[in-house]
Amino acid sequence: MRHTNGSIEVVCGSMFSGKTDELIRRLVRATIAKQKVQVFKPSIDIRYAVEKVTSHAGSNFDAIPIQKATDILNKLDKDTTVVGIDEAQFFDPEVVPVAKELAARGIRVLAAGLDTDFRGEPFGPMPVLMSIAESVDKLHAICMVCGDEASRTQRLVNGKPAKYDDPVVIVGAAELYEARCRAHHEVPR
């Protein structure tokens, strides 16, 4: 079932906000609607399963691990109508023209990822994807310090906040990160 128009939808937020769960929910609905779905993820994300996108809550969906964004175009089946992209912040800047090209072809593009890094700064290609998308949903987690809504990802090193100069990309889950509100997000210089 082809779409009349292509589109780009972005689901973003901090870690533990439910981004991948929401992506999977939309992918399942597209599958129920008998749309041809393909999902891509960065090959560096091997936290749960190599050929699946998996949420922290445990839901999953089959996915194709790729090295760079242009691999999406090379691995795309001719009859695909919905493309999911998980952990979009880890892709190179080419994910933006790839998403635009897919949407121009009439494909619905669903991209999920962190909008900010552990420093609280825009992460990779996400700001541009958000600006060209037809819709953007920013999800929130719960602050692990006070219980308020959390919009930040706190990286921890030996239980303490990571320093600003620490590497931006370290793939991990609850052992390295927690959700924090603005007031409790710390990035020592």
As annotated, the active-site residues are 87
What whole-number distance in Å separates Cα of residue 42 and Cα of residue 123? 15
Residue 101's SS3 state is helix
Burial class (CB in 10 A: 0-12, 13-18, 19+), 189: exposed
Per DSSP, the residues of 60-84 read: EEE-EEESSTTHHHHH--TT--EEE
